[in-house]
Structure 1
Amino acid sequence: MSQQTTDLTAVSRGTVREYVDEMGPSWVAGAIAAGPATMASLITAGAGFGYSLLWVVVLSAVAGTVAQYLAMRLGLLSGDGIVSVVESNLGESWAWVLVADVVVAAGVAQLVIMKTVATVSATMTGVDARMWGVAWAVILLVGLAGRGYRLLEWAAKLLVAAVVVAFVASSLVVRVDAGAAVGGLVPTLPSGSALVAAGILGGAVHITLVTMHSYTMQARGWTESDYGLATFDVVASMLVAFGVYSVAIFLVAASVLTDPGLTTVGAAQALGPVAGESARWLFLLGLGGAAVSTLGGNTVVPPFVVADKLGWGTTVEDGRYRALLAAFALLSAPGAFVGGEVLGQLVLVLALGTVGTPFAIGVVLYLLNSEAVSRPNSTLANVAGVGILLVSGTLAANFVREQVAGGVGSLSGAVLAFAVVLGVALVALAGKFVREEAFAA
């Protein structure tokens, strides 16, 4: 049987009931994808351009599924964490570049996500957001460093499912123009919509999601024999759950919101007078669940890659990893004290993550076509992977161009430098692959 046939029929092995009971690792990635940064992009798109960008929302779920499928293949077929695989097959310098890429993108994101969680908590309870920031940092410390991955996976599945239900309920409460929504499935980019379209896609195809997947599968003890289950896990979490989440939020925003400058919290507040208090509270509860699930999932990513690079274990059974996890959880607390408008900061977070994503996708594709895996990629998987690489590269270029267009200051300069380093690394990696293929031929 060909590799392509194996890929297409992997989910046929085993029963759906068994797969639903056992799925999990990709839901942690889905919990990060279904977060406040993605929500901000969806709200901006729907409020600013109506239903016209629905096709981008659907495309983002498909693209995110492909990216996670490739990451899943690398983790299962190599049997190791992505940093270790990079170091073994490309060398230590390449591994350090990948670690730096992940830590910068996830570290900056952690602060802004914490600010969002604290702001939502304050809106719902009336308690100061800074106090919530400290409280959530302690909850992360006790929960993740104390209980480890299985608690995170359980919470991710519960919260993502609850968030999807909340936003689907919101979309049922508001009045959706079905005809206009169908028209939005026709690809078109209204004037001024390119950046927000890039933000929607960037939320689904992100470096943190790609790099963490091999470690979450290791934590579950999955091997190549679990290929069918792992494939089902990716499809259920990214294509179905994340896809429904994205479409529901977008439809709510496109149906009743008209201010593209609304924040995520502001959108929930605005739903009260235009769609009723039930829609407002459903949306606010969904936002809170999404922010919390993203915060928990993002917390484990830097400790995973740093511990792997240093040769430590990547579970709480290793005290050094546990200490890393605890430190990163506590370091997220200052996010609640950061000033400024969270929407703009979420866009910056998405920009940094998107800039770092093409290199990660390139690394995964290189390794999936090398001796690092027991079964190289099929033609179909390679074509899909190159498509995702081109999409993520275009998004990165758009974000960098936007930053630089406003003048190269300290912030835009840092984004530009980050992009240049990773761009050079990606070109060098492509050149290395081409030379090796030419030599082999």
Structure 2
Amino acid sequence: MFKKMGPGVLVAAAFIGPGTVTACTLAGVSFGYALLWAMLLSVLATMVLQEMSARLGIITQKGLAEVIKQELAHKYVRMMVVGIILSAIVIGNAAYEAGNIGGGALGLEALFGISQAGYYPVIIGFLAFILLYIGNYKVLEKVFISLVILMSLSFVITALLTKPNMMMVLQGLFIPKVDNENILTVIALVGTTVVPYNLFLHASLVSEKWKSKKDLNLAKRDTYVSILLGGIVSMCIIVAAASVDLKEVHNVMDMAKALEPLYGTSARYFMGMGLFAAGVTSAITAPLAAAYVAANCFGWKNGLKDAKFRMVWMVILGLGVFFLSFDIKPIEVIKFAQIANGILLPVIAIFLLWVVNRSTLMGDNRNTALQNLMGISIVILAVFLGIKSILKVLEVL
């Protein structure tokens, strides 16, 4: 089964991380079922953009950053755009990495208490460093992914056990409600699902698995099915959290209450194991993604053992630990990471839309009018949400 899985599963697994669990729990606790529409919209947007990225990777057999660099003829424009992409990915992944490490730290808090909480980010960071440097983390990764699957199934079952009001669930799914109270949570849900660095990862990974245009349908099915399943899990987290009698979430114990209908008092340990697993696996993939983008931009060919490649992931990992070393609450960092990604999304989406419309590059497989309409709509929505986020943050300041 695992040999037949494509990169779509990795994309889905990437957004079922500690950021998703936190953002969806906050959404459910604070707004009930009202923001399910934001998750549904995010899943559809992810399907559209990731399909474009996969199609680009199969047709060109290159990564997204490499294609953008190749297609820009003017030297100074190319340098500027490569600089923007690098900045976006480095900033976004550094914020994401802090959220990933914070999520793993929350998991350790649930398992071992908060007496040594200050050391937890360093422990997670050190573990991720060792696994990245050695590169032999496949066995551990399978264990971690198994724990994340257990957590996902737990939320699906819990959502069913809470016997949600289906009329209210349908209203939440199909009747959008946006106001000043929930706008940052909406952006966090978009940011945790439509992850900019996944667009770069997907294009690179499909070119390793599939080599022919005949495989486009396989890649499309892999993308749609995987992301849909990931989206269903995210929605179940919102539904499960909506049943919790809380006003807001302060710590991992509050988050664990969403699983109490299934596990009772043991819920904290299941939440702890799941968050730890999701945190460590994501703490490995985010720095690697940034390093791959840098390698594409600068044309490094020596792979994982390259000193420059290693330096990039070390910087991202180091920034993640650094951001959490000033007694900042992990939940706050995770929320910031999702918002930062929501703001960076339109930048990356615009570049992706541009290259998949190049007939010299894509031939008959360039975007259709419908795909362009959906893509442009996603960009406009992402820009709107990004501007609203900035204005909201300025109000707070």
Instruction: State the TM-score, normalized to the length of structure 1.
Output: 0.78
- Whose RCO is larger (CA < 8 A, sep 6+)? 2
How do residues 158-169 of structure 1 correspond to structure 2 at under 5 angstroms?
A: 158-169=146-157
Deviation at 1:363, TM superposition (A): 0.2
User: Structure 1 372/157 Cα, relative in aligned 2: closer, same or farther at 3 Å?
Assistant: farther
* Structure 1 segments unaligned to the other structure (5+ residues): 1-16, 408-441
Instruction: Read off the aligned partner of 2:275 and give its amino acid letter.
Output: L
1:373 and 2:362 aligned: yes
* Alignment of 1:60 onto 2:50: no
1:180 maps to amino acid: M
Specify the alignment match of 2:89 in structure 1.
Answer: 102
3-state SS of the aligned residue for 1:340?
coil
Alignment-derived partner of residue 227 in structure 2 = 238
1:39 matched to which residue of 2?
21
What amino acid sits opposite 2:23 in the alignment? Answer: S
Q: What amino acid is the match of 2:222?
A: D
Count, aligned residues: 387
Amino acid at match of 2:183: A
The structure 1 residue matched to 2:103, chosen from 98, 108, 116, is 116
- Contiguous gaps of at least 5 residues in structure 2: 73-77
* Alignment partners' CA distance in 2, 1:38 and 1:113: 10
Cα distance in 2 between the residues matched to 1:157 and 1:72: 23
Residue 246 (structure 1) shift: 0.7
Q: Which amino acid aligns with 1:69?
A: E
- Once the two structures are TM-superposed, the CA of residue 249 in structure 1 deviates from its matched residue by 0.5
- Closer, same or farther: CA 319–222 of 1 in aligned 2, 3 Å: farther
1:258-291: CA deviation from partner (whole Å, max 9, x where unpaired): 31x3046143344588873244444444333333
Distance 2:6 2:141 in 1: 6
2:188 equivalent to 1:206: no
Is contact 1:68–1:234 with CA below 8 Å preserved after alignment?
Answer: yes
Structural mapping, 1:128-147, within 5 Å: 128-147=116-135
Query: How much has 1:254 moved relative to structure 2?
Result: 0.9
Tell me the equivalent position of 1:353: 341
Q: How far has the Cα of 1:49 moved from its partner?
A: 1.9
Match of 2:204 among 194, 204, 215: 215
Q: Is the 8 A contact 1:145 1:325 kept in 2?
A: no
In the TM superposition, residue 156 of structure 1 has moved relative to its aligned partner by 7.4
The verdict on how the C-alpha distance between 1:284 and 1:245 changes in structure 2, with shifts beyond 3 A counting, is farther
Question: Structure 1 residues 223 and 51, CA, compared in 2 at 3 Å: closer, same or farther?
Answer: same
Q: Report if aligned partners of 1:163, 1:290 keep a CA contact under 8 Å in 2.
A: no
Tell me which residue corresponds to 1:316: 304
Superposed CA deviations along residues 342-387 of structure 1, whole A, max 9, x for unmatched, are 3332222222211111010000000001123242112222122112
Q: For the residues of structure 2 that align with 1:185 and 1:198, how far apart are their CA atoms?
A: 16
- Judged with a 3 Å threshold, the aligned counterparts in structure 2 of structure 1 residues 222 and 284 are, in CA distance, closer, same or farther, namely farther
1:155: Cα distance to partner?
A: 6.5
Superposition pairs of residues 80-91 of structure 1, within 5 angstroms: 80-90=62-72, 91=78
Normalized against structure 2, the TM-score is what? 0.86
**What is the identity, as a one-letter code, of the residue corresponding to 1:98?**
I
Instruction: Name the residue aligned to 2:75.
Output: none
Q: Measure how far apart 1:316 and its partner are.
A: 2.0
Q: Aligned-residue CA RMSD in angstroms?
A: 2.9
Q: Which residue of 2 aligns with 1:383?
A: 373
Q: 2:122, 2:210 → 1: CA distance?
A: 33
Identical pairs, percent: 22
Summarize the alignment of residues 120-199 of structure 1 with structure 2, pairs less than 5 Å apart.
120-126=107-113, 128-147=116-135, 158-189=146-177, 191=179, 192-199=181-188
Question: 1:222, CA displacement in angstroms?
Answer: 4.9
Pairing partner for 2:386 from 385, 396, 400: 396
Deviations 1:206-256 (A, max 9, x none): 21222222223345465544323322221232111x112211100111112
Change (3 A) 1:23 1:274: closer
